[in-house]
Amino acid sequence: MKRNKGTRERFAGLNEQDHTDGESFHEESLAEDPALIAELLHGFDQMELAIRKPDPPPLHELAQFVAAEQQRLRKRAVLEVALFLIIALALIASNLLLASMNIVVFVVIQGLVFVGAIAFAVRFFYRSKEKVRSGHA
């Protein structure tokens, strides 16, 4: 019991010293805080002066840019639709010609295309599932 009492007294002395050191450190940091804050604010003001804020472009220039971009997109959309129609008509015409000439070859080709499309879809599905599992999606 006495040994514990002596140990407690020694630790109590250490704890008192630690508190006084912490209090003096806290008082010093409070004295330095306003100076530090003022210095930081001055630095921020200098940065704001040094960074140039660009003026926004005039409204008519933005309107012209938007109109030109919309016209470009319309031309591209018309080109894509025209290309789609040409390719679709060529495929339909070739299938009709093949069906009228030889029905067996037509059925075989249609079957191969169907099987290929199913195989592609299954492969794509499993690859995307693996990417999700591995975290690379």
- Domain extent, residue 40, equals 1-53
Q: How many domains does the chain have?
A: 3
Residues 89 and 110 in one domain: no
**41 plus 86 within the same structural domain:** no
Task: For the beta carbon of residue 13, count every other beta carbon within 10 angstroms.
Answer: 10
Cα–Cα distance measured from residue 83 to residue 55, given in angstroms and rounded to the nearest whole number? 43
Domain shared by 40 and 8, yes or no: yes
Domain annotation covers residue 58 = no
In a domain, 60, yes or no: no
- 82 has pLDDT over 50: yes
Q: Could you report the per-residue pLDDT of 37-62, keeping only the tens digit for each?
A: 888 888 888 888 888 777 888 999 99
Summarised one tens digit per residue, pLDDT across range 128-137 is: 877 777 766 5
pTM listed for this prediction = 0.44
59 occurs within a structural domain: no
Tokens of 109: 């080709």
Say yes or no: 25 and 49 in one domain. Answer: yes
